[in-house]
């Protein structure tokens, strides 16, 4: 029987190669989660009226910045 062993990019053995893949997918999943949270925040703010936005210290043009930073002026 023949087996194939792939070298890891760091040269530390198969264990670190496998954990590197897990770190990659974990980071990817975290990024997807953060992107979805930003989209929800943006949708929530754009659905508000101008009066509601003013009540929390925002203008319509401030929505993209507030979405990223999560706060009003």
Say if residue 46's pLDDT is above 70. yes
Say if residue 43's pLDDT is above 70. yes
Question: pLDDT digits over 47-70, tens only?
Answer: 999 999 999 999 999 999 999 987
Domain extent, residue 62, equals 20-69
Count the domains in the chain.
Answer: 1
Say if residue 11's pLDDT is above 60. no
Question: How far is Cα 60 from Cα 63, in angstroms, rounded to an integer?
Answer: 6
Q: In terms of pLDDT, which residue wins out, 3 or 20? A: 20
Note whether residue 10 is domain-resident. no
Say if residue 13's pLDDT is above 60. no
> In 3-state terms, the chain is what percent helix, strand and coil (to 5)?
65, 0, 35
Question: How far is Cα 9 from Cα 22, in angstroms, rounded to an integer?
Answer: 14
Q: What does pTM read for this prediction?
A: 0.66
Note whether residue 40 is domain-resident. yes
């Amino acid at each position: 029987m023949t087996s194939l062993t792939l070298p890891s990019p760091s040269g530390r053995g198969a264990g670190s190669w496998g954990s590197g893949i897990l770190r990659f997918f974990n980071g990817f999943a975290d990024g997807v989660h953060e992107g979805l949270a930003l989209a929800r925040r943006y949708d929530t703010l754009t659905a508000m009226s101008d009066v509601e936005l003013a009540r929390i210290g925002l203008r319509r043009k401030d929505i993209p910045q507030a979405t990223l930073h999560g706060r009003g002026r």
